[in-house]
Every structure is written in structure tokens, then in C-alpha cells.
Amino acid sequence: MVRRRGRIAEVHVAYIAISAAVTTAAAYIPMFPVIGAGSMMSAGMIVVPLVGILLGPTAGTLAVAIGAFLGQIVAPYGAIFGLITFLCPMTNAFVASLLAFRKWKEGICALGLTILMWYVITSIKWAGDPYASVRWYFPFLHLASFASLLIMRGKIGEWIEGLDPKKVPIGIFLSALAGLLAEHMVGNAIYVGIYSGPARVYAFVLSIYWIERLLGAIGATLVGTPLLIALYKARVEIGPWSLREG
Amino acid sequence: MSLVHYYPGDSFFHKLDPRVKMLWLACMFVLSFIFNHPLHLGVLFISVLFLWIYMKIPFSELKLFFKALTIVAIVTFFFQLLFYPGEHAIVSFSIPRWIPYFGGVTAITIEGLVNGIAMVLRLFIIVLTMPVITMSTSLEHLIISLIRMGMPYEIAFAATTALNLVPVLQSDALKIIDAQKARAFTALERGSFKDKIKAYVPLIVPLMVGSLKKGQQLEVAMESRAFGAYESRTYLTEIRMRSIDYVFAAFFVIITILCLALRILKGFGAFRL
Amino acid sequence: MEGLGLAKDVIVVDKLTYYYPHSEEPALKGINLKVKQGEIVTIMGHTGCGKSTLCLTFNGVIPHAIGGDLEGKVVIDGLDVMEHDIPELARRVGMVFQDPETQLFSVTVKSEVAFGPENLMLPREEIIERVYWALEATRLKGYEERAPTKLSGGEKQQVALAAAMAMRPKILVLDEPTSELDPVGTRKIFSLIKELNKRYGITFVIIEHKEEAVRLSDRIILMKDGKVIGEGRPPRVFSEIDSVKESRVRVPQISQLFYKLKERGLDIGRLPLSTEEAYHILKDLLNKEKAEDLPVEASKRDIESQPVIKTKDLFFQYKNGPVALKRINLEVYQGEFTAIIGQNGAGKTTLAKHFNGLLKPTKGDVIIDGMNTKDALITDLAKTVGFVFQNPDHQFFSFTVEEEVAFGPRNLGLSEEEVKSRVDEALRMVGLEQMRNRHPFTLSRGQRQRLAVASVLAMHPKIIVLDEPTTGQDEVAINQIMTLVNKLREEGRTILMITHDMSIVTKYAERTIVLCQGEVLLDGPTREVFSHPEILEKSHIDIPPIMKLARMLSEYGIPSNVLTVEEMCDMIMRKAGG
């Protein structure tokens, strides 16, 4: 995927490195002790989809993968799934970036795949579990997001690229939400599939997860809108409006 | 605060080729899933602890890990204890259905207990094996081994540079907090819930804009020293596999395959009642 | 430098015009320039005049990495930049940039210096040899295993130099290498430049604002708005007052003095640049006589009133860290303009952060306008003390200039009308009303600095603290900021300014506090503080050239504690004008 040496998908390694560093810092090191909301939100939920939206499907996903992986090394006690924990934020950036860069078909497929993965894994691992039926309606927000993507399609990327201050927030919200939900599903798949998480836990989680994810998407939108516009005005060469031509 | 805790040493493990160490990590990961029985997992766990001690990693590090893992461990244990569907009850009781989340639980089962212990052990094993590598291998050696294993140097580069930039970003974050506090920004300490969500904006926006601008400067600095000049580059640090490295690599792989086979054929390491 | 006449041209720029990508205005317009092997050339000009852009064409980063449209020719050591790629050019041209943090990214000094040669695919033995050579040349022997991030600013720039040297370049381009450094670091770098030039014959192209660079150079190039408007040997360039003024460059104090003397009718002909030359010229005009020291002005403060800042045995230690401040006892009165100077790490910013409660004392007390910072709320302190940080970009996040200024007042919970009126007022005071609907990042560096000041002013603070407001800025921007600050002082506010720029201190600050290793070394009227050069030397603080000159002329009727160019001019006119 390296077209010009020193770059990955036209994004210079320097940007990937710094975005990875931001991911590591935001998601793993408590820099911003926002008390109270802290238990529900971490800066990671905001930064990860935005890195995806800014650097694109290849570079952005890579930056988050590196950043999250480093985060596991630096703060290993946060890596609850061990070495593979980084796959979660990586999926987040991946899905968000696909939607932001107008690759909506791939983005929808990715989100759809994670939802499918959920159904398959829970059906296998929860065989015989009395609470297994929760799996059907658990991902209601994910399905809603999936539906919204089918309706909006390429518009999400268009709105982000167009940098209209009224449309950008919607674009960011939808991509970030999709990313956050995809990440959530991957995490669930790991928990149930590899760590044998029982179904009861999910009855518990059902009432909280959607608040958490929505807040994350809102946070990403509130931060992302001024961020993207500032970067455009400051003439930094990233973001779909700059990279998509290349 | 030094990010990557590296404790140079002379121990045998220290001197192993980093690639072999990574192989060990992978094998431990796999083994921790092959086994279900607390006994076998316990042995694995003790072997990891033993390595920590052997490599003379200070106890303060270990304490840090245990402190951070305790909550997750306890929660995991309880979830397994209460919710794991088992048949052999130890204690039977009935939690009325109307109590949220816990309603309907009727027993603590042996399976639940054992699984709980197993999960906790597994958690510890997985989390504790990674630092063993980073604490016994210098960053430069780690990166070289990744590159020798086929990672494109752009990626390895992005990783080391990112690691070096994290403290810079942390200090920037502190400067940003100061600057906003100087404008009476109090949302970090008090404020309504709505305020707290909006609180991220004056913090993360300047941070990310600042970092991407730094990215621009970094790009110019790297290009000015001919980064990306050729398809590959020479490296100052070197690693070489000695025969003993091959021996250990083989050893790890064989043990893992053996255990896997025994598990499938003879149920070695599985917990059955 | 002697012998340069026979040296060949190692940089030839011919009718160079360049447009940045997506830009309609050219950043460089028809530049013609030649640099000989072994020369030290300093490029000076206002912010945005194109100096950095020009230098980036020397190693091909422009146009190969950045893109854009390049017309004309740039030939480096015989190679046309358009026809050779960056790696080839990078073997001939090494670059050092302004910010130590974004040009060093390796784990050890050794690997940092090896980075360039590694990229060039040189054999390992040669890389090792070059690394040791480069470290020795830049006086960094023994630093091999140190982590670059843990070094001082000056040391970091030395490492950057070493890293550039490892490419064995013929030319070294340094883009504002000392802007972020304190006097110690600055001295180190300039002396290294001289040494490297002498020892290895390396050609230097330096972009700088500081006087020391002028003294160091064989030639100065003045740029304005993308064009070269003057060039030649330093004395000649600075004799051409008009082009110097046009280029908005920092004029060395000695030159300023002679401009003013010329204006007042004392024409000496050739204008000197160094204090030694000035001394020789002036002593011939003056009579030998003993001079009375100028009286130190009585402080204008009202002793009856309470100090607006008071620290009692202030002692501060970072958590698990070093002791930063020891036994600081200070009293600052309303309306004073105080400069805080000292080496990097002496504790200036640490001290200043105690004044608005960002830091609380480990021992002792800090009382601001009657409030003890240990108990006061952030909001109350923010209302009283406005803090303008060094890097304005660390705080912007709004869509418009207006919104940005409104942030502070809104945090105070004021009504929307009050907020609006404060925003209008603040923007007017800093001269940014025209820009109110622009996005902060479309403003120039100087304008962003003023925006930072405006967002602080909107809080209506009695006290204003400025942390290095003039670093790396051109003459016009500096004047704008300082005039603004002076106006604020005249309105009765108390000003505290942390700076490394001694000529600003002597021009504007009536009181100076010198910090050294966390303690107050000197505290008093500026004129008095600068009369102790031996004590200041302990902190590696240089007295400004005008003061040096005054001391040299003390046997000729000039008081040794003349502080500013204006005073010196008056003195000379009085004693010699006749």
C-alpha cells in the first residue's frame, strides 16, 4: 500500500506516528481527569474515530492499531483482553474511516459483519444457556446504526468532506457511532467467544451500553467538528477533503 | 515517568533473541486457552511469576499490575461464580426475580467457582506475559526484530516515534489544561453532566491540532534526513539468532503442540466433573 | 572570511518563484541569490517573508515533499534541485529546525544521529564512524546512550546539529535554531556554528532574528514579502536604514543608536555594528571626563497600599520531583511593570503559575489581591490574574475569533450582553475587530498572539502575566505586542513579563527580578539590576550591547548605567553634539 516511500496510502509516517501517539495518550493515560463522566467516557472513544476520519482507512486504522498496541504495552493493566485488545479500537477507526472516506459499501459491510459475528458466536457459545435469548435484541443500537447507514450511504462522507459546519457534525456523528458500535461488537465477540462470557452479563449490560456509546459519539462530534474545520483552516494536509484525491 | 520500563540484565532470558521471546508470548497465550483446569493454569501462572523474579524486575512493578488488575479480576470472578450455568451446586439460594440483574440466580455452582478461578488465572497470565518481554528487551532490539520478521520499516518507525512522542503530548496536554484553567475553565472539577461532555472540546481540539501541526514539522525533519530514500535501510542495532535461540524456539513450539494434542485426545488440562 | 574570493558558489538561486499548493499568491518572487562555499550567511526578514520557504528549496523538500509550483532554478553544489531527489540533496544539505521536539524522535542520541546515514543505506561500519565523528564535532562526546527527550533545549539542538552533520553535508541550513533556547543554549549554538565553519569549512545559511547571528555572519540577506531587498556584509546592510526598516528586521542596538544619532544630526559616515567599533568612534567625539551614574528612579509605588501580589517564604517542589522554588519573598504593587528573567529551569514559569493558582505552594503562601491561593477558587483568580502563555495555539478551539474571546467571560457565568460587550472591548484593545469572524487559525502568528491577549483581557484582570510574548517574532509584531502591553500598564494594570530578550526588559520594565535555580538572585529597579553584570553572568545573562558600550565609555562622560538606546543617544548628543 506504500505508494511513495516514507508514506502509507499517501499519508506520511510522521502523521501516522503522531496520531498513534495521540491515541496512546488519550486512550491509555488518564490525561484529562474528567471526573464523574470518566467512568462512562474516555478520551479514547472520542479520539479513535476522529483519527480514522482524519487519516483514512489505511493510515488511520494503522495509526490507531499502533497507538492502541503501544497503549497495551505502556499501560498493560488496561488491556483486559491481553494482547488482542487493540483490535477493538482498530475496528472503530476502520469503520469510521470507511464511512468518512465515502467507502460506504465497505463500511456497511464491516459493521454488518461484526453484528453477524455476534449472532454466530453467541449462538454457538450460549447453547444451553437459559438467558441466551438476550442475544437477539441486545444489539438494537447497532442495528439502528446499520439501518441509518443504509439510508445515508455516501452522504456521510460527502458531508464530512464538504466541511459545511451544519452537515459535518451529522457526518461525524454517524461515522463515529458506527465505529464505536463496531468496536463494541468486536469486544463482545472476544469476551463471549474466547473468554466464555455468560449471557446473564449481557442482560445487565443491555441497559447501559447504548448510553455509553451514544455519549461517545456525541463527544466525538462535539470535538470533531471544530477540529476538522480548524485543521482545514490551518492548512494541514489531512482529512478526506485533502487525502481523497490521492 | 519513563514510559517503557526496560530493566537491562544479564539473565538468560534477557539474552534470548527477541523473536524467540515473542514466540514464547504467543505460546503462552495459546496454552492459557488450551487449559481450563485451574491446576494447569496455576502452573503456567507460577512459571510467569518465576520469570519475573528471575529477571530481577522490581517488586514495585508487580505491585502496580496487581493493583490495577484486582478490580477486573474480582468482577470477572463474581460474574463467573454467579452466572456460569453449571449443574453441581455448592450453595443453593434463590434471588427473587424482581431484583435487577441478579434476580433468578439460584445457585453458586462448582463449575462457576472453578471457571471463575480459571478466568482470573488466565487474565493474569495474559496480562503479565507481555511486560516480561518489554522489560527485558530494549526498544531498539524489539523494533529490529519486528522488521526482521517482515514488518515494513515505515510501520516500525511510526511505532518508535509514537512512543517517543507520547510524553511530549502529555506535557502539551498539561499546558492546555493550564491555559484553559487560566480562562476560568472549571469543568474538570465541577459542573453539570452536560458541561463535562462539552469539557473535552477545549482540551482535545487544541491537543489534536497541535499534534498534527507537529506532524507537519516532523515530516519535513524526517524528509530532510533522507527518510524513504530507498526501499530499505541499514540498521545500527543488530540481532542474530544463536543456536540456543533455535533450541528454545523449537522447545516452545513442541510443548504447545504437545499440550494441544493431549488436550484434544486425552482431555489434559480440561476440567471435568 | 578571507580566501572566499576563490571559493565556488555552492548555492545558486536564479529567478526563483514558488507557489505553495492551492495558493494563488507566490511565497517567493523572483529570488536571485548566490552563496559561496564556506560562507556564513544569515537571512533576516519579517514573519512570513519566505525565509523558511527559500531554505526548504535547498534540500528539495520544496518541491518534492511539499509539492507546489516552482519556477526558476535552484542549484546546490552543481545539482539542479528539480532534477534530483531529496536523498541526493540531503547528502549535501543538512537542516536544523526551530523546535527541538519535532526533529528528534529516536530512543538514544546515538540512534538519532544514525538515522540519516541509515536512511542512505550506508554500511554499518561507516554509520558508526560517522556517528562518533558527528558527536565529537558538536561537543557531544559521551552522550551516545542518553535519551534525547531528557536533554536541555540547547543540548537537543546540538543533537539536531549532530544528526545533520552525520550526513556529511557541505551546507548546513539552520532555521531559527535558537528561538526556543535560553541565553546559555543560544551561546552554545552560535559558538558551535563558528567552530564548525572554521574546522570543516561548512557553509552556513542561518535564519535568525537575534543580534548575535549578525555578528557571526559574513553576509546578511534581507527579505520582505517573498523578495530579497538587501544583501551584503553586515555593516553595509545595516547602514542602509531604509531597507532595514522596510524588512521589519530586528536592528542591532548599536546600529539603532547610530541611526538615531544620524537623525539628530550627528553623522559619522560608516555605521559600526560591534560595541568595539562604536567605542572607538565615540571616544574620539567625547572628552575624557568622569561620569556620574544616572540616578535610579524612585519607585512610583504607593507604599501605603497593599501589594497586589505577595509571596511569603514560598517554597515549591514538584510531586516526586525536584525543588523548583526556595524561600521566595516578593511584593509586587499595583501598576508595576516587572520583568522576570533567568535561565531555563530557573523557575520563572513555575513562579508565575503560582500567581494565578495553577500551582499551589508546597510551603508558604501566595496572596493575590488579598486572596490566599490555597483557598481561592480558580474563577476568582482567573478574574484577577490574566495569564498569556507562550504558545497561543495551545488554547484555540473555537470557530471564530469572537467565540474564542468569549470563552473566558462565559466561564465566569456572565450574561450574554456582558460577554458581548467584553468581547468587543477586548478585540478593540488588541486591534483585531476586523478579524472577529475569522477562524483563529487563519490569523498570522502575531495576530494569534494578540488574540490570546484579547481572550485574557476579556476577563478584566488587574494583573497580567506574559510568558515570553516575543519569542521568534519580527520587529513589527514585537512592537505591536509591547505597545499594547504598555497601554495596559498605563491603564493601571500590573504587568509581569517573563522573557529572555534583554533589550525589551531594559526598554519597558521598570523592575526586574532575576531567578537563579529557584531563588531570587536580584530584585530591584531594572537600572540597578543591570548594573551588576558579574552577578548576572552567574545566570549566563548578558547585558544588552548598549549597556556594554556605556560601561566602556564610562571614562568619557557616559554614565555606566545607561539603559536604553534613547538614553545613550541623549547622553551622546549632550556631551558631543555641542
Q: For B112-132, what is each residue's pLDDT tens digit?
A: 788 888 888 888 888 788 778
Of the pLDDT bands very low, low, confident and very high (cuts 50, 70, 90), residue C256 is: confident
Q: Is C439 on the interface with B (CB under 8 A)?
A: no
CA C389 – CA C469 distance, rounded (Å): 8
pLDDT attached to residue C352: 94
- Least CB–CB distance from A226: residue in C22, C105, C399: C399
CA distance C130 to chain B (A): 12
pTM to 2 decimal places:
0.87
CA C361 – CA C326 distance, rounded (Å): 10
CA distance A157 to chain C (A): 21
pLDDT attached to residue B207: 93
pLDDT attached to residue A165: 84
When mean pLDDT is compared across A143-152, B107-116, C30-39, C381-390, the lowest value belongs to B107-116
The helix (H) or strand (E) run that includes residue A170 is: helix A168-193
Q: Which chains touch B (3 or more CB pairs under 8 A)?
A: A, C
pLDDT attached to residue B2: 46
Mutate to test the interface with C, among A233, A237, A241, A245 (most CBs of C within 10 A): A233
The answer to whether the CB atoms of C439 and A17 lie below 8 A apart is no
List the domain boundaries for chain C: 4-250, 254-293+551-577, 309-530
- Least CB–CB distance from C61: residue in B165, B186, B223: B223
The answer to whether the CB atoms of C440 and A229 lie below 8 A apart is no
pLDDT attached to residue C94: 93
pLDDT in tens, C278-305: 888 888 888 888 878 888 776 666 666 7
Chain A: residues touching C (Cβ < 8 Å): 17, 165, 226, 229-230, 233-235
Fold of C4-250: Rossmann fold (3.40.50)
Mutate to test the interface with B, among A73, A90, A192 (most CBs of B within 10 A): A73
CA distance A106 to chain B (A): 24
pLDDT in tens, C488-506: 999 989 999 999 889 899 9
pLDDT attached to residue A123: 85
The answer to whether the CB atoms of B226 and C86 lie below 8 A apart is yes
pLDDT tens digits in sequence order for chain A, 246 residues long = 344 677 777 788 899 999 999 998 887 665 555 444 334 456 888 999 999 999 999 999 999 999 998 887 777 656 667 667 888 999 999 999 999 988 888 888 899 998 898 888 888 888 777 777 778 888 888 888 888 888 888 888 888 888 888 889 999 999 999 999 999 989 888 888 877 777 777 877 787 888 888 888 998 999 999 999 999 888 887 888 877 654
pLDDT attached to residue A179: 93
Judged against a pLDDT cut of 90, whether residue C467 lies above it is answered with yes
Kindly report the average pLDDT of chain C as a whole number. 89
Centre a 10 Å sphere on the Cβ of residue C420 and count the other Cβ atoms it contains: 14
- Least CB–CB distance from A234: residue in C22, C398, C441: C441
CA A138 – CA C258 distance, rounded (Å): 82
Fold of C309-530: Rossmann fold (3.40.50)
CA distance A72 to chain B (A): 9
Is there a contact between C335 and C301 (Cβ–Cβ < 8 Å)? yes
ipTM over the 0.85 cut-off:
yes
Burial tier of C465 (Cβ tally within 10 Å: 0-12, 13-18, 19+):
buried
Burial tier of C366 (Cβ tally within 10 Å: 0-12, 13-18, 19+):
buried
CA C568 – CA C563 distance, rounded (Å): 8
The answer to whether the CB atoms of A229 and C439 lie below 8 A apart is yes
List the domain boundaries for chain A: 7-243
pLDDT attached to residue A35: 40
- Please name the residue of chain A whose CA is at the shortest distance from the CA of residue B230: A5
Is there a contact between B126 and B32 (Cβ–Cβ < 8 Å)? yes
pLDDT attached to residue B266: 77
- Least CB–CB distance from B222: residue in A13, A130, A222: A13
pLDDT attached to residue A3: 47
pLDDT in tens, C142-190: 999 888 888 888 899 999 999 999 999 999 999 999 988 888 888 889 9
Burial tier of B260 (Cβ tally within 10 Å: 0-12, 13-18, 19+):
middle
pLDDT attached to residue C471: 83
pLDDT attached to residue A38: 39
Centre a 10 Å sphere on the Cβ of residue C256 and count the other Cβ atoms it contains: 22
pLDDT in tens, C363-381: 999 999 989 999 988 888 9
More confident residue, C201 or A27: C201
pLDDT attached to residue A77: 59
- Please name the residue of chain B whose CA is at the shortest distance from the CA of residue C118: B234
CA distance B34 to chain A (A): 11
CA distance A226 to chain C (A): 6
Judged against a pLDDT cut of 80, whether residue B69 lies above it is answered with no
Chain B residues lying within 8 Å of A193, measured CB to CB: none
Judged against a pLDDT cut of 50, whether residue C525 lies above it is answered with yes
Mutate to test the interface with B, among C58, C62, C102 (most CBs of B within 10 A): C102
Of the pLDDT bands very low, low, confident and very high (cuts 50, 70, 90), residue B206 is: very high
Chain C: residues touching A (Cβ < 8 Å): 22, 105, 396-399, 439-442
CA A167 – CA A174 distance, rounded (Å): 11
- Please name the residue of chain A whose CA is at the shortest distance from the CA of residue C398: A226
Grid coordinates of C520: 531570587
Is there a contact between B137 and B239 (Cβ–Cβ < 8 Å)? no
Chain C residues lying within 8 Å of A235, measured CB to CB: 22
Judged against a pLDDT cut of 80, whether residue C17 lies above it is answered with yes
Residues 102-131 of C with CB under 8 A from B: 102-103, 105-108, 110-111, 114-124, 127-128, 131
Chain B residues lying within 8 Å of C442, measured CB to CB: none
Burial tier of C433 (Cβ tally within 10 Å: 0-12, 13-18, 19+):
middle
Q: What integer is the mean pLDDT of B45-74?
A: 81
pLDDT attached to residue A118: 87
pLDDT attached to residue A178: 92
Chain B residues lying within 8 Å of C382, measured CB to CB: 181-184
pLDDT attached to residue B100: 59
- Least CB–CB distance from A22: residue in B169, B177, B200: B169
Kindly report the average pLDDT of chain B as a whole number. 81
The answer to whether the CB atoms of B204 and A223 lie below 8 A apart is yes
Closest CA to A179 of A108, A81, A84, A86: A108
CA C542 – CA C513 distance, rounded (Å): 15
- Least CB–CB distance from A233: residue in C22, C397, C442: C442
Q: What integer is the mean pLDDT of B4-25?
A: 81
- Across the A:C interface, residue pairs with CB atoms under 8 Å apart total 18
pLDDT attached to residue A234: 85
CA distance B12 to chain A (A): 22
Judged against a pLDDT cut of 90, whether residue C58 lies above it is answered with yes
Total length of chain A:
246
- Least CB–CB distance from C105: residue in B165, B205, B220: B165
- Least CB–CB distance from C412: residue in B165, B178, B184: B184
pLDDT attached to residue A220: 92
Tell me the one-letter amino acid at A71: G
* Percent of chain C surpassing pLDDT 70: 97
CA B61 – CA B73 distance, rounded (Å): 18
